[in-house]
Amino acid sequence: METEITLRRLKTIEGHLRGVIRMVEEDAYCIDVIRQIQAVDAALSKVSAQILENHLNSCVIDAINGNDPKERKKVLKEITEVFEMSSKV
């Protein structure tokens, strides 16, 4: 179910992005294009946050509750890397 919701949101974003491309092709007013890009960016951030929440509530919890210390370390390292990358963008 979560996958369906995520895919639906991503397809909506894809359509919105196509609209932005069309705006650029039609030489729309720059500020209008920027506002639409910001809307796409915000929508992608929301989907990213949703995927991260799902990951934390499934994969990470499973790894923490599991008996494999290497798996625990791996998932915690992945989360750290995601946050490090987001601060570089």
Around Cβ 33, how many Cβ atoms within 10 Å?
A: 16
C-alpha 43, offset from chain centre? 8
pLDDT, one tens digit for every residue, the chain (89 residues): 689 999 999 999 999 999 999 999 999 999 999 999 999 999 999 999 999 999 999 999 999 999 999 999 999 999 999 989 888 76
- The pLDDT, as a whole number, for residue 86 is 81
The yes or no reply on domain 2-88 and CATH 1.10.3720.10 is: no
